[in-house]
Structure 1
Amino acid sequence: MSKQRRNQNRSAVNIEPGIYEIDSGTAEIKPDPFTPGAWVLLINGVESSQLIPDEPQRLGFEYMRWMAIALGFRYPQDARLRFLHLGGGGATMARWGADRYPNSRHTTVEYDAKLTELARDNFGLPRAPIVKMRVGEAGQVLAETRPDSWDVIIRDVFIGTTRGDHITPMHLTGLDAAETAARAVGANGAYVLNYGGPPNLAPARAEAAALAQAFEHVTLISDATMFKGRRRGNIVMVGTQTPLANPDLGGTDAFIAALRAEPLPTQAKYGTATTNFIAGTPPSLAPLLLQEPL
């Protein structure tokens, strides 16, 4: 797709720095002090999204780059993909996906209506039907998905007001959620999770165990320090029914090489390495549906 046509598919970036009231507290838009020309969205003081205007494929957050690498080695650029983004925030991954896969369609789900409006008004998101923004509870939306209704589901959902208690709601982390997502993405799809947590990796092992029961292949992506439980950070987890990396796009070796070339050298665990990481931990059995919304 030409640059001119891509620009026609985007809304104007209209960033207004400042602090905004949202349903869950406050959001702040401010210049990124480490990346010239970039902006950061903070939710209740916690970094949520980074935006680099006119460069949607340039991702500042490490875990988002890992997601992009994983999907880039699975699907060719001309693939007609249907993305469901659980967790809207600044819709950074929806902007990336719409640009990386010009034939794709995206639906973002964000519980905070005012945050959704803020992102839509400021961040130059592609117009519907390329990117649709839906206000809703992620677990409810996931529970309502039909089999084979999406190609990619990205879960990036956190609650809490500080970095220390910024966690994924339990009902999105268990076997029920993993099996529902597996049905929704079908045989060729991918369920991509952003796990974020403390050095204690027990919750991460339980999440990986849930994926391993729902998917034939589970790939874990992070750096060695995080895998050793020495810091708080992120692990990207990808559930697929076929090996993650497409041989026609370079295959596993090229995928691993791309991760190692990251500014923070990154590893991928799959097969036996994923089984060893799980280390016999049982999956969480938290039900997907809550009796009451969050």
Structure 2
Amino acid sequence: MTRGPREPMPGRYPVTFGEVELLQDLDRPNGWMLSKDGVPQSYVDLEDPTYLDFEYVRLMADVIDVLPDGPLNCVHVGGGACTVPRYVSATRPGSRHIVVEPDAALVELVRSQLDLRSVPKLKVRILGGREATSGIWDGSTDLFVLDAFSGATMPVELATAEYLADVARVLRASGTLLINMADGKGLPFARRLVATAFGAFKHVALLAEPGIMRGRRFGNLIIAASPTELPVDLLTRRAAGGLTQARCVYGEALTNFVAGASPIHDGDAVLAPAPPPAVFGME
């Protein structure tokens, strides 16, 4: 007799790089959050992979939903609970995924507790982002999702012009890159990362909640970048129609946003911003 997936068990679990906590959503019995050092990392609903709890993930989904119909060849740098691969597989059957995650014990935890084996055509590579990307074929990828965090900060080595040039290499001419980053007052890191994206891609857009976009509070912003034109009108409408009425900035407005900020290069003394303690109740 074939056994079904086992029921997840909430609690703290040791992983390769520290410890994570698995929390059940009291409002959604099939909803589970993965947290590390008090920072929420991923949320998945095991019965409904199209339910996206985090606003920034919904913005990513807005971009994915306006891409041409059909299955996608995807690369995801930053595994977590694999929320985006689950969503893409549910909304675009036949899609293929390479998930890059350096924490082997975390991957095994997600396999055993959060039914990762239920996601079809998904392969995990236990590698760092740059090493894994260097081994992917040229022009093989429709969607590249860069959502890698060490705790609450983005690894700067994944935000440089040299790395984004390698990402551009693996994307098809019609492919799309999505970057999840976080920034706070004045958005200095976001401006530099957008400038870096412009160095590798002709078309770039930035999506975020209005308060975050204005640099008034710390939070997540999404960069969408592509060698080909992005459907910015559709993106603007979808973002504005969400619960938080997010903004989509592109064209001249995005050029003005960058305001002469310099791209990030390997070796630059740049620190990715960390959230204030109050953001995740860590005071």
Q: How does 1:240-255 map to 2 (within 5 A)?
A: 240-245=226-231, 252-255=232-235
Shift in alpha-carbon separation, 1:105–1:69, aligned structure 2, 3 A: same
Q: Please, which of 41, 47, 54 is the counterpart of residue 48 of structure 1? A: 41
Q: For each residue in 1:173-195, what CA deviation from the matched residue of structure 2 results, as whole angstroms up to 9, or x when unmatched? A: 01111111111112100111001
Q: Is the 8 A contact 2:89 2:120 kept in 1?
A: no
Q: Say whether residues 1:21 and 2:14 are aligned partners.
A: yes
Shift in alpha-carbon separation, 1:26–1:211, aligned structure 2, 3 A: same
Q: Is the 8 A contact 2:184 2:212 kept in 1?
A: no
Q: How does 1:156-171 map to 2 (within 5 A)?
A: 156-160=147-151, 166-171=152-157
Q: State the 1:274 CA deviation.
A: 1.4
* Corresponding residue for residue 277 of structure 1: 257
Q: Say whether residues 1:146 and 2:126 are aligned partners.
A: no
DSSP-derived class of the 2:174 partner: coil
**Letter of the 1:280 counterpart:** G
Q: Please, which of 161, 174, 197 is the counterpart of residue 183 of structure 2? A: 197
Q: Is the 8 A contact 2:89 2:119 kept in 1?
A: no
* Corresponding residue for residue 7 of structure 1: none
Q: State the 1:100 CA deviation.
A: 1.2
Q: TM-score by structure 1 length?
A: 0.85
Q: Is the 8 A contact 1:27 1:42 kept in 2?
A: yes
**Unaligned stretches of 5+ in structure 1?**
1-10, 161-165, 246-251, 289-294
Q: Is the 8 A contact 2:125 2:132 kept in 1?
A: no
Q: How does 1:73-92 map to 2 (within 5 A)?
A: 73-76=66-69, 79-92=70-83
Taking only the aligned residue pairs, the percentage that are identical comes to: 31
Q: Please, which of 206, 222, 229 is the counterpart of residue 192 of structure 2? A: 206
Q: For each residue in 1:214-250, what CA deviation from the matched residue of structure 2 results, as whole angstroms up to 9, or x when unmatched? A: 11100100012111111110100011112222xxxxx
**Structure 1 residue runs of 4+, over 6 Å off?**
none
DSSP-derived class of the 2:169 partner: helix
DSSP-derived class of the 1:47 partner: strand
* Corresponding residue for residue 173 of structure 1: 159
**Unaligned stretches of 5+ in structure 2?**
269-283
C-alpha separation between the residues in 1 aligned to 2:240 and 2:119?
Answer: 36
Aligned residues: CA RMSD: 1.9
**Letter of the 2:245 counterpart:** P
Aligned pair count? 265
**Letter of the 2:81 counterpart:** G
Q: Is the 8 A contact 1:13 1:53 kept in 2?
A: no
Q: Is the 8 A contact 2:15 2:105 kept in 1?
A: yes
